[in-house]
Amino acid sequence: MAAPDGHPLLRLDRLSKRFGDRLAVEALTLEVAPGEIYCLIGPNGSGKTTTVKMIAGLYRPTAGQVLIAGIDLGAEPERAKGLLGYIPDEPFVYEKMTGREFLGLVAALYRVAEPERTRRIEELLDLYALGAAADGYVEHYSRGNRQKLAILASLLHAPRLLVVDEPIVGLDPESAIKTRDLVRRFAEMGGSALLCTHTLAFAEQVCHRVGLLTEGRLVEEGDLAALRRRAGLPDASLEALYLHFTKARPS
């Protein structure tokens, strides 16, 4: 479970977040190893997006630590974030820029030098065949193309860890397949990914391990085989396991 330098690429150590009287995440501890894709699933309000925003440095934890390749995000935020690619549930892009200009700005903020910057942008645009749209203003992009642009922006600085909140929302089926393959390749090359998603079929296709959050607590964790054994459901899909462990029932 450790990177070559002796650390997992992501470790959450008793991570908690309180909003007033409400405890959104409670003492969450987990690790994601190099080459591993880990999915957080759970009902609405279970703490998934709050967890992702703490990992990305957008929320300050009430207690606990986020460690990225052994670097404490709270103590060394710039160094830790340099290893992180973050894709929010709502893609953030500057509407008055072209797609290519936006990617150039992100690359510059991450100090990707020329001509590497140009090479990386062209290479990434090819992943979704976005070259034809890249010189159009983002304000005219569809929801799906904005999502693709946000995904590409997260990869510009060659991060070691991807953190993604709802990776395929708004994507057409072909683009969802490309995104699935992109995440798999990222892990095969030694990166780690933590995904939060309600799309359980997608999680079942790509994730090595799954963690189930309910009311801010990690209540189940493991690969599909382990979860099936625990549930006593040897052939169950992830959807069936989710319903079993949350005690939910189809309506």
Q: What is the pLDDT of residues 24-36, one digit of tens each?
A: 999 999 999 999 9
Tell me, what's the pLDDT at 115?
86
Q: 181 falls in which pLDDT band (50, 70, 90)?
A: very high
Pick the CATH number of 10-92+161-246 from 3.40.50.2300, 3.30.1300.10, 3.40.50.300, 4.10.95.10: 3.40.50.300
* Beta carbons of 79 and 70 less than 8 angstroms apart: no
* Beta carbons of 133 and 141 less than 8 angstroms apart: yes
Average pLDDT over residues 110-127: 92
Average pLDDT over residues 48-61: 95
Say what the pTM is: 0.91
The pair of three-digit structure tokens given for residue 181, joined into one six-digit string? 């393959």
Share of the chain above pLDDT 70, in %: 96
**Alpha-carbon gap, residue 210 to 204, rounded angstroms:** 9
Strand order in the sheet with 217-222: 84-87, 161-165, 192-196, 37-41, 209-214, 217-222
